[in-house]
Copies of this chain bind each other. A is one copy, B any other.
Amino acid sequence: MTHTNLTFKTDGAGLYQITREVSAYVRHSHPTDVGLLTLFIQHTSASLLIQENADPEVQTDLQNFFHRLVPPSDDPSMSYLTHTYEGPDDMPAHIKASLLPTHLSIPVIDGALALGQWQGIYLFEHRTLPHTRHVVLHLT
Contact = CB atoms under 8 A, between A and B. Distances in A.
Interface size class of A (residues with CB under 8 A): 35 or more
Contacts of A95: 61-62, 65
A98 B51 contact: yes
A71 to B, nearest CB: 11
What is the predominant secondary structure among interface residues of chain A facing chain B? mixed
Interface stretch (A6-14, A18-26, A111-119): A111-119
Nearest to A95: B65
Interface of A: 1-3, 33-36, 38, 40-44, 49-52, 55, 57-58, 60-62, 64-65, 68-70, 80-83, 91, 94-95, 97-107, 109, 114-119, 134, 136, 138, 140
